[in-house]
């Protein structure tokens, strides 16, 4: 198979190229610039991203027809607001697309405009929002979940799907490394600000909140909102989402653990740790999500600690997992499960 990547120079795009270049079912990875990058001099991957020294691959001009003729699927690893301007021809042709941006995650265009402060995409109903560990894509256009949303929803799915929590009690304290902010410069991610520091940001305003609530409401319409906070960690990669919720009457720790085991049995990328708490280094470089589970019967509070690598499970790795599911390949093909020392 041949696949294309639009947006390879970003952190998620770089990780996606690394995974797809080693994928057993992928014969060739073709790289493309954005729609406005086709008239200048040819750009090459190793010149744009020195980490890929020796991979002297051109970033071809964006042309939807040419791309569909040369590839079996295309990945968009672009910023929000970009994909919505490019996706039309692919949707009209029902061509396989895995979209890592946020442009097609929300079903309500008004919600997108409110949270992303951009013009919403058209043809939103052509996309399927797909957590890769909880089902297979239902359309050829796959909206890959956000990193915070992935960690949070995987931690909440067993509780909400089994109706074990009080709908108005969900609190999420989520923390991420600086790569989650992307390559765009900001004072928040300057070394002097981020190093030896913790910074709360986008309080009650993070763009992953509406996609989390959207999915939770599909599982339980009684859930109207959640309390969600994000903190920047002085590390490069990794997310830890600490989730709290009040249990329904009569809940026991055994019933909580059983819900997780039932939900995630035979799921190779989910690591359940009842009675233990995972740390971020356990998942760096992998497509895994490690879940620590605890229930305090004194306060009737469930606590779940969900950790992922934001660039792999939270972006490129989940995109490849969705690609595998879409093409009915082995789910684990091309995806790492052993952590790296970083």
Each residue of 202-224: pLDDT tens digit?
A: 999 999 999 999 999 999 999 99
Percent over 90 (pLDDT), the chain:
91
If we measure between CA atoms, which residue out of 264, 296, 286, 278 comes closest to residue 156?
264
Task: Tell me the pTM.
Answer: 0.96
Three-state secondary-structure class, residue 239: strand
Q: Tell me what the mean pLDDT of segment 226-231 comes to.
A: 97
Instruction: State the Cα–Cα distance between residues 48 and 64, nearest whole angstrom.
Output: 23
Residue 130 pLDDT greater than 80, yes or no: yes
Residue 143 pLDDT greater than 70, yes or no: yes
Count other Cβ atoms within 10 Å, centred on residue 328: 8
Strand-by-strand arrangement of the 43-44 sheet: 43-44, 58-60, 28-32, 2-6, 73-76, 97-99, 141-143, 127-129
Q: What is the DSSP track for 142-189?
A: EEPPPHHHHHHHHHHHHHHHTT-B-TT--EEEEEE-GGGG-SS--GGG
Domain boundaries, the chain: 2-145+313-326, 148-310
Q: Which residues contact 135 (CB under 8 A, 6 or more apart)?
A: none
Q: What is the DSSP track for 41-78?
A: --EEHHHH-GGGTT---EEEPP-HHHHHHH-SEEEE--
Q: Tell me what the mean pLDDT of segment 242-246 comes to.
A: 98
Q: Tell me what the mean pLDDT of segment 131-152 comes to.
A: 97
Residue 277, CA atoms < 13 Å, CB-side half-sphere = 10
One fold for 2-145+313-326 and 148-310: no
Instruction: State the Cα–Cα distance between residues 225 and 3, nearest whole angstrom.
Output: 38
Helix/strand/coil (H/E/C) assignment for every residue in 29-41:
EEEECCHHHCCCC
The per-residue pLDDT for 57 is 93
Helix, strand, coil percentages for the chain (3-state, nearest 5): 35, 20, 45
If we measure between CA atoms, which residue out of 176, 102, 203, 92 comes closest to residue 143?
102
The per-residue pLDDT for 37 is 54
Q: Tell me what the mean pLDDT of segment 134-161 comes to.
A: 97
Residue 36 pLDDT greater than 70, yes or no: no
**Active-site residue 147, yes or no?**
yes
Each residue of 283-322: pLDDT tens digit?
A: 999 999 999 999 999 999 999 999 999 999 999 999 999 9
Phi-psi region at 135: left, alpha or beta (left = phi > 0; alpha = psi -120 to 50): left
If we measure between CA atoms, which residue out of 23, 24, 26, 31 comes closest to residue 7?
31
- Calculate the average pLDDT of the chain: 95
Q: Which residues of 166-196 are buried (b: 16+ CB within 10 A; e: fewer)?
A: bbebbebbbbbbbbbbeeeeeeebeeeebee
Higher-pLDDT residue of 207, 181: 207
- Looking at 147, 157, 172, 239, which residue is catalytic? 147
Q: Tell me what the mean pLDDT of segment 235-251 comes to.
A: 97
The per-residue pLDDT for 132 is 97
Percent over 70 (pLDDT), the chain:
98
If we measure between CA atoms, which residue out of 13, 232, 18, 243 comes closest to residue 149?
243
Q: Tell me what the mean pLDDT of segment 192-205 comes to.
A: 92
The per-residue pLDDT for 275 is 82
Each residue of 92-119: pLDDT tens digit?
A: 999 999 999 999 999 999 999 999 999 9
The per-residue pLDDT for 128 is 97
**What is the CATH number assigned to the segment(s) 148-310?**
3.30.360.10
CB 243 within 8 A of CB 303: yes
Helix/strand/coil (H/E/C) assignment for every residue in 81-143:
CCHHHHCHHHHHCCCCEEECCCCCCCCCHHHHHHHHCCCCCCCHHHEEECCHHHCCCCCCEEE
Q: Which residues contact 7 (CB under 8 A, 6 or more apart)?
A: 13, 34, 76, 77, 78, 79, 82, 100
Q: Tell me what the mean pLDDT of segment 230-240 comes to.
A: 96
Each residue of 254-281: pLDDT tens digit?
A: 999 999 999 999 999 999 998 899 999 9
Superfamily of domain 2-145+313-326: NAD(P)-binding Rossmann-like Domain (3.40.50.720)
């Amino acid at each position: 198979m041949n696949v294309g990547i639009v947006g390879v120079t970003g952190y998620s795009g770089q990780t996606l190229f690394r995974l797809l270049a080693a994928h057993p079912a992928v014969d060739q990875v073709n790289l493309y610039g954005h729609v406005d990058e086709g008239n200048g001099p040819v750009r090459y991957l190793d010149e744009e991203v020195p980490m890929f020294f020796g991979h002297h691959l051109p970033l071809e001009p964006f042309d939807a027809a040419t791309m569909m003729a040369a590839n079996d699927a295309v990945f968009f690893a672009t910023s929000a607001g970009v994909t919505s301007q490019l996706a039309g021809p692919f949707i009209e042709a029902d061509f396989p697309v895995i979209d890592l941006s946020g442009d097609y995650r929300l079903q309500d265009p008004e919600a997108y405009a409110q949270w992303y402060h951009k013009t919403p995409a058209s043809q939103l109903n052509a996309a399927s929002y797909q957590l890769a560990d909880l089902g297979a894509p239902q359309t050829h256009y796959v909206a890959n979940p956000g990193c915070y949303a992935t960690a949070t929803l995987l931690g909440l799915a067993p509780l909400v799907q089994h109706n074990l929590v009080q709908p108005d009690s969900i609190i999420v304290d989520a923390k991420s490394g600086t790569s989650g902010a992307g390559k765009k410069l900001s004072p928040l991610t300057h070394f002097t600000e981020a190093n030896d520091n913790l910074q709360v940001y986008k309080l009650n305003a993070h763009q992953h909140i509406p996609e989390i609530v959207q999915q939770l409401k599909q599982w339980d319409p009684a859930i109207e909102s959640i309390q969600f906070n994000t903190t920047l960690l002085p590390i490069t990669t990794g997310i830890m989402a600490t989730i709290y919720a009040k249990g329904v009457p009569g809940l026991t720790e055994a019933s909580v653990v059983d819900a997780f085991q039932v939900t995630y049995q035979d799921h190779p990328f989910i690591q359940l740790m009842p009675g233990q708490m995972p740390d971020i280094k356990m998942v760096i470089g992998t497509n895994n999500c490690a879940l620590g589970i605890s229930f305090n019967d004194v306060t009737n509070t469930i606590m779940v600690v969900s950790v992922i690598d934001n660039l792999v499970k939270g972006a490129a790795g989940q995109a490849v997992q969705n690609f595998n599911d879409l093409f009915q390949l082995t789910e684990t093909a091309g995806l790492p499960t052993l952590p790296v020392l970083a």
